Amino acid sequence: MTTHEHPHTISIADYNANKSFIDEQAIWSVINNAANPSAEQVRQVLVKAKQCQGLSIEETAILLQNQHQQLDEELFAVAREIKNTIYGNRIVLFAPLYVSNHCANSCSYCGFNADNHQLKRKTLNHEEIEKEVAILEAMGHKRILAVYGEHPRNNVTAIVDSIRTMYSVKDNKGGEIRRINVNCAPMSTDDFKTLKTAAIGTYQCFQETYHQPTYESVHLKGKKKDYLYRLYAMHRAMEAGIDDVGIGALFGLYDHRFELLAMLKHVEELETVCGIGPHTISFPRIEPAHGSAISEKPPYEIDDACFKRIVAITRLAVPYTGLIMSTRESAALRKELLELGVSQISAGSRTSPGGYQDSEHEHYDAEQFSLGDHRAMDDIIYELVTESNAIPSFCTGCYRKGRTGDHFIGLAKQQFIGKFCQPNALITFKEYLNDYASEKTSVAGNALIESELAAMSPARERNVRICLAKTDSGERDIYL
Ligand code: SAM
Ligand code: SF4
């Protein structure tokens, strides 16, 4: 594994962790000042967005409050264009691995909350983790998102041990997990330094709601009650040298306009103070969870149409940040959101510890929330290829070559994607097709690879064909 120095050294002296950088009044003024924008104002912002330079918070507020329905289609068209220009038709796949549903907090929207006495609590041991990973490898997965409740059992030492176990499991086809992203409670800078020693990919932590009064009303117990400690989690992670971080808001708790603008403020803050914005943004939306009354009827429920606008507007506002869609959304909606800007999705997922081993049974007694998409990985891949013309990518090249942090912007990043991401997507997809795919997926996938090769420059095509031929002759883990 290649390691590298953090490109920007930040220290606690660079930020004031006792003062929120989210100014509630200021965000509401931006929202109010952009109320009822004219069609001309909206179109001006769309023209600017097409330059792929991102949008200011004020411009984003205009798009968020567009009332002209016909302009929604124009917004979606720009989002599709940006997605295509920057990312092409690749889609990165991963699987969540729930290691522990033990949790000492009481978040009123989550089934793992400490007051849910119906839930069967489980923290996977070494052997159980190995079994889960083996199942994911047999599906073809190379990336895992490891998820943990906040509990003394899930301290940093236990988390690091569990990640080491995950990396150690290899299958007889040369299958292995090559990148493990982590979604766990925020920690001290020193603990983040320890977490980094496990060679994690992205550290992910969602603020849930950036609106402090709402935050305090839904986090009833435990360490998570502390809004500021969570708000500065990414500063501490970066201070510890983890420069791929993933942020998000749990939509449904508060006004979505406020959440999105505050999330952009978070992006700005990280760019200013730490020198790098977040690597990814996630869009969890509250799903019904057993043992959580609020999740049945969230106070600010957003419908699919609004959710699509949120994803499209984010694509315009931060064109170079990866957008993640989880298992939580239905297959049909995920397909639309892919076109509008989502660049990573989870596939074939379970949200209970041990859920892959026992996937025959519905795990309502241990699951965090119910899922919208129950299809198997191979079905999802077949659908991506045949219906969305998308190339499923299992690439982990950048992280393993030490190309982490978001230091590629603009044209440089677009050229970079053509040079590395697109070829690596094809090579890792070929590996999947040879080792794990069903017959029909293999036929459809190989046809897609051929059509992608035909569209490349002759030099690049030659280069990629060499790697594909090596893959066919049994070599594995080839990446540029
Ligand atoms: N315990 C850690 C924490 O809270 O940050 C990490 C694990 S927690 C299970 C991961 C995420 O699940 C939370 O950040 C929250 O956004 C999401 N989540 C919780 N309850 C949910 C629900 N009912 N529907 C959708 N997402 C939910
Ligand atoms: Fe625990 Fe995280 Fe669920 Fe809150 S969201 S109850 S901290 S697992």
CB–CB of 100/148 below 8 Å? yes
The residues, ordered by sequence, that sit 6+ positions from 127 with a Cβ below 8 Å of its Cβ are none
205 Cβ below 6 A of ligand 1: yes
Question: How many angstroms separate the alpha carbon of residue 478 from the centre of ligand 1?
Answer: 35
* Residue of 417, 434, 422 lying closest to 475 (CA atoms): 434
Average the pLDDT over 109-116 and give the result: 96
pLDDT higher than threshold 70 for residue 373: no
Which of 108, 187, 206, 224 to probe ligand 1 with, by most ligand atoms within 8 A of CB? 206
CA distance 155 to 185: 9
What is the structure's pLDDT at 3? 38
Q: Give tens-digit pLDDT for 140-159.
A: 999 999 999 999 999 999 99
Q: Which residue has the tokens 């939509």?
A: 251
Give the mean model confidence (pLDDT) for residues 128-140.
93
Question: For the chain, which domains are there?
Answer: 12-23+81-393 (3.20.20.70), 411-472 (no CATH)
214 C-alpha to center of ligand 2: Å? 16
What is the predicted pLDDT for the residue at 405? 59
**Which residue intervals of 275-364 are DSSP H helices?**
304-317, 331-340
Ligand nearest to the CA of 186: 1
Cα 363 to ligand 2 centre (Å):
18
CA-nearest of 59, 14, 8 to 316 is 59
Confirm or reject: Cβ of 224 under 6 Å from ligand 2: yes
């950048």: which residue's tokens? 398
ipTM > 0.90, yes or no? yes
Q: Is the pLDDT of residue 75 over 60?
A: yes
Q: Please tell me the total number of residues recorded for the chain in this structure.
A: 480
The best mutation among 121, 182, 183 to test binding of ligand 1, ranked by most ligand atoms within 8 Å of the C-beta, falls on 183
pLDDT value at 328 more than 70? no
Relative to the alpha carbon of 285, which ligand is closest?
1
Stretch among 30-34, 77-81, 384-388 having the lowest mean pLDDT: 384-388
Q: Is the CB of 265 under 6 A from ligand 2?
A: no
| pLDDT value for 415 | 67
The Cα 450–Cα 427 span in angstroms is: 12
Distance 351 CA to ligand 1 centre (A): 10
149 lines ligand 2 (CB under 6 A): yes
Residues of the chain with pLDDT > 70, as a percent, come to 91
The CB of 369 under 6 Å from ligand 1? The reply is: yes
Q: How many CB atoms lie within 10 A of CB 301?
A: 12
Say if ligand 1 is within 6 A of residue 329 CB: no
Buried b (16+ CB within 10 A) or exposed e, 152-180: eebbbebbbebbebbbebeeeeebbbbbb
Nearest-CA residue for ligand 1 atom 25 is: 286
Q: What is the mean pLDDT of residues 447-453?
A: 96
- The burial class, CB within 10 Å (0-12 / 13-18 / 19+), for 194 is middle
pLDDT at 431: 95
| Average pLDDT estimate for 185-214 | 97
pLDDT value for 407: 52
Reply yes or no on whether the pLDDT at 446 is more than 70.
yes
Measured from the CB, is residue 287 less than 6 Å from ligand 1?
Answer: yes
Nearest CA to ligand 2 atom 8: 149
Using only the alpha carbons of the chain, give its radius of gyration: 21
**Ligand lying nearest the CA atom of residue 114:** 2
- 476-to-28, 259, 467 alpha-carbon distances in Å: 52, 43, 10
Q: How far is the CA of 110 from the centre of ligand 1 (A)?
A: 6
Q: Is the CB of 123 under 6 A from ligand 2?
A: no
pLDDT at 386 (0 to 100) = 93
- Kindly provide the b/e burial profile for residues 244-276, where b requires at least 16 CB atoms within 10 angstroms of the residue's own CB: bbbbbbbbbbbbbbbbbbbbbbbbebbeebbbb
Confidence of residue 360 (pLDDT cuts 50, 70, 90): very low
Task: Give pLDDT, residue 267.
Answer: 97
**Per-residue tokens: 207:** 């603020």
Nearest CA to ligand 1 atom 20: 110
pTM above 0.90, yes or no: yes
On the question of pLDDT at 252 being above 90, the answer is yes
Write out pLDDT tens, residues 169-183.
Answer: 998 887 899 999 999
Q: Is the predicted pLDDT of residue 471 greater than 60, yes or no?
A: yes
- Judged against a pLDDT cut of 70, whether residue 199 lies above it is answered with yes
Asked if the model's pLDDT at residue 291 lies above 60, the reply is: yes
- Looking at residue 327, its pLDDT comes to 60
pLDDT of residue 87: 85
Say which residue, 406 or 467, is predicted with more confidence: 467
The pLDDT of residue 444 is 98
Bigger pLDDT: 243 vs 200: 200
Rounded to whole angstroms, the Cα distance separating 446 from 426 reads 10
Does the C-beta of 149 come closer than 6 Å to ligand 1?
A: yes
Structure tokens at 74: 């124009």
Atom index in ligand 2 nearest the CA of residue 103 equals 1
What's the gap in Å between 366 CA and the centre of ligand 1?
A: 14
Three state DSSP letters for 127-161: HHHHHHHHHHHHHCCCEEEEEECCCHHHCHHHHHH
Ligand 2 pocket residue status of 148, Cβ below 6 Å: no
Residue 413: pLDDT band with limits 50, 70, 90: low
Helices and strands, number each (H, E), in the chain: 19, 9
Q: Among the ranges 191-200, 366-375, 452-461, which has the highest mean pLDDT value?
A: 191-200
Per-residue pLDDT, 414? 66
Q: What is the whole-number distance in angstroms between the Cα of residue 464 and the centre of ligand 1?
A: 40
For residue 18, what are the CA distances in angstroms to 4, 12, 28?
31, 11, 22
Instruction: Output the average pLDDT for the chain.
Output: 90
